[in-house]
Amino acid sequence: MIEQAINKIQELTRAQVVQVDAEPKHVYFLAQNGELTRHEAAQPPRKDELYTLESLLGMLKRELNGVDLTINQPTIYVGRDGVVALLSAANRRERFTLPLPQSREYHTLKNLAEGRAAMKHRDFVNLLRIDLAGCVEPDVIKLFSEIKVAANGENESAIRVGKESIGRRATAAALGAGHELPEDITVTLAIYRDLTMPKYQVPVVCALVTDLQEMTFRLIPKAGQLEAAERAVGDELIGSLEAAFASYTGLLVVQGSPS
C-alpha cells in the first residue's frame, strides 16, 4: 500500500507536456501539481540560404545594426563552395549561407584541362561560339570560323601557327592569305554562376594545340591558370565584403569554411 501511494504521488507531481490546438506549434503547457503553465519553445537556429550577394549583404546589415559586434564577433567565411556568415562567433548557431555554384563555362574549362580531347574543326568552332559564348574575343572566333576544310587534297595552303608557317597539300585550307592561328587563347569568364559582374570575371590563358594533318584542335588551360583564377575571384570577393562592412568594427572576413 505504501509503495502504491508513493508511486501515485510521483505520478501526480511529474510534469507532463500538453499541447493545445488553439495555440501555435511552438507553444506548449506543463501540467504539474494540478497547475497548467504556458511556455514558448525557443526558435530553432537560423540557417537561411540566400541566392544573391546583394541579399546576403542586406540581411547581414539588418541583423547587425545596433548589435555590439565586439561581443558577438560575427565572422564571414569565404570558401570555394560559397559564403557562410556566422552572426556570433561565440555560439555559432545562427548563420546565413550563400552557395556559389560554378558556372557552366568554368566547368567546360575544367573538363578541357582534364580530358584534353582533340576536336574536329566544326566542334572546336562550336566550343568557342556556344560553350564559351561571350568568353572569347569575336575576332578569334571569326578566324577559326573562316578556316575551310577542303574535300580533296589538291590545293596548296599555308597556315601559320604563331611564328611557324606550315605548307602542305591541303585537307585544310585557310580562307584568304596570311591567316595566323594564335599559340594561346584567353578565355575571360565568371567562375561562379551567380557572380557575373565584370569585377568577378577573370582571364584564363589556354594553349592552342593544333594538328593540321588531322585538322584537329585542342584548347588546354595552362598550368596554374585555373587555380590562379579561383584565388583572384576569392580575393575580390573578400575585398568587396570588407569594403561593405568597413564601418562594422568587430566583424571579421576570412578565407575558409566554418566547422
Same domain, 111 and 227: yes
- Per-residue pLDDT band at 187 (split at 50, 70, 90): very high
pLDDT of residue 224: 97
Q: Is the pLDDT of residue 52 over 50?
A: yes
Domain coverage including residue 25: 2-40
Same domain, 20 and 63: no
Same domain, 52 and 171: no
Same domain, 124 and 184: yes
The domain tally of the chain equals: 3
Q: How much is the pTM? A: 0.73
Same domain, 52 and 26: no
Grid coordinates 585557310 are at which residue?
174
Q: Is the pLDDT of residue 21 over 80?
A: no
pLDDT of residue 246: 94
Same domain, 58 and 153: no
pLDDT of residue 14: 67
Same domain, 77 and 190: no
Same domain, 192 and 96: no
Condensed to tens digits (0 to 9), the pLDDT of residues 153-184 reads 443 444 544 444 444 433 334 433 356 789 99
Same domain, 118 and 157: yes
